[in-house]
Structure 1
Amino acid sequence: MPDWKKLIEGKIALATRGAKPGKVNANERIPAGQTEVKNFPTLDLGIRPDVTIENWRLQIYGLVGKELTIDWAQFQAMNQITDVSDFHCVTRWSQLDMNWQGVLARDLIAMTEPLPTAKYVTLHGYDGYTTNLPLDALLDDDVIIAHSVLGAPLTQAHGGPVRIVVPKRYAWKGAKWLKAIELHAFDRPGFWEVRGYHNDADPWKEERFSDD
């Protein structure tokens, strides 16, 4: 098992290094305080679950008219899209023009017929990770449940076989090894949010921590 205290301290140290607020970048596509990279770094909780296309399932439940569980074949049979977006990690790196392939989150959510009382979601990973979003944010037209990136299937290290990508938020809002999406009426802070990370996570406002 990972040393949670050291892990959390390390991630927070990465996110807090340098001046705050961060230096404005000459490249207008890179938020303040970020540095451009091209090697797509990997960060996680130290647990990489043994989930494959054979045993992967995605469940959508909670305040929905129809609960949904799909397997890999059903996921692949859905309308597949390609989305190009920029990826901003709270640990102060950004990678531009990330080419993702998968299914729009809103297409899957629509299949469940969300109830009017559903306002928020919790994203669950197979590693036990959770993070939260307003339902409206999940339904943006650039939020993708992805199986491939830059023309290749997602590796385990990058959250494969399936992760969610939320380009308008810092990357911790996109759960790796996506297992479930839970819809509910009230906001429920996730793993990093209860440890002091900002609930909204807008990289353009440098919303790294709850006191920012």
Structure 2
Amino acid sequence: MTGDRDRPGTGRHEEAPDDAVRTDGAVRDKLVAAKERWARDGRALTGTTADPARDRLPPGQRLVEDWPVLDLGVQPRVTTGNWSLTVDGLVENPLRWSWDDFQAQPQERFLSDIHCVTTWSRYDNTWQGVSARHLLSVVRPKPEARFVLFHAYDGYTTNVALEDFAADDVLLATSWEGQPISRDHGGPVRVVVPKLYFWKSAKWVKRIELLAEDRKGYWEVRGYHNHADPWTEERYSD
């Protein structure tokens, strides 16, 4: 679940895709409407919880061996040549990294599972990239920073608490299973926040904004949970 067009009538700003990066496709309105309906109907909710220390598979999930592609029909033509990352907001050291700048940072390898709110999970994904902890050590969040808003090249946004972004298994990934992340999966750089449902792991990330007050993203204003913990079934808003 990715992509962003803010809901008409919410009074929220609609962020356009980056002018320097062209996009292919168009938002599939019927798909968006269907997923909004899932939120209203509580689709896939089991009413149970699980303990991640004991139960690897969250409630209501099924295992898959492939990696399904989920988007809204819009894919930006972002490459290592035109990609850049801006980190700003409540930070002491705002930055804008090119691909070369990003590659010059310490590269780490992580192993984690994926849990998608559409009920599939995939175990043992090997990622490589720059850890969120390293990024935060460079930008130095100000004391009042408490939330993070991810902005993507297709206009998509999603929000997490700063403490969730700062977890030791979160990274900005450039490779999956030893290969560059493909365009349809959010390459050249996507966020990976493995402890939350995967819509929080923004594809095609271009900007990371640190905030004092929370600001909901694309799916969060369309009925999806603000936190998104798979083991407590935080699929949808109350």
TM-score for both structures, normalised by structure 1: 0.93
Give the Cα–Cα distance (whole angstroms) in 1 for the partners of residues 35 and 80 of structure 2. 29
Note if contact 1:64-1:114 (Cα within 8 Å) is conserved in structure 2: yes
User: Are 1:3 and 2:16 counterparts?
Assistant: no
Give the Cα–Cα distance (whole angstroms) in 1 for the partners of residues 137 and 185 of structure 2. 27
CA offsets 1:60-115 (integer angstroms, 9 cap, x no match): 00111111000111111111111000100000000000111001012112211211
Note if contact 1:23-1:33 (Cα within 8 Å) is conserved in structure 2: no
Identical amino acids, percent of aligned pairs: 51
Note if contact 2:111-2:126 (Cα within 8 Å) is conserved in structure 1: yes
CA offsets 1:12-47 (integer angstroms, 9 cap, x no match): 4667544633698xx931111000001000111211
Give the Cα–Cα distance (whole angstroms) in 2 for the partners of residues 84 and 13 of structure 1. 33
Tell me, which stretches of 5 or more residues in structure 2 are unaligned?
1-25
CA offsets 1:128-149 (integer angstroms, 9 cap, x no match): 0000011111110000100000
Distance change (3 Å), C-alpha of 1:170 and 1:67: same
**What letter matches 1:9 in structure 2?**
A
Give the Cα–Cα distance (whole angstroms) in 2 for the partners of residues 10 and 160 of structure 1. 26
| Secondary structure of residue in 2 paired with 1:167 | coil
Distance change (3 Å), C-alpha of 1:12 and 1:23: farther
**What letter matches 2:151 in structure 1?**
H
Aligned with residue 68 of structure 2, among 14, 25, 41: 41
> Matched residue pairs, number?
208
**What's the C-alpha RMSD, in Å, of the aligned pairs?**
1.8
TM-score for both structures, normalised by structure 2: 0.83
Note if contact 2:49-2:232 (Cα within 8 Å) is conserved in structure 1: no
User: Are 1:150 and 2:177 counterparts?
Assistant: yes
**What letter matches 2:35 in structure 1?**
K
**What letter matches 1:74 in structure 2?**
D
Aligned with residue 167 of structure 2, among 133, 140, 144: 140
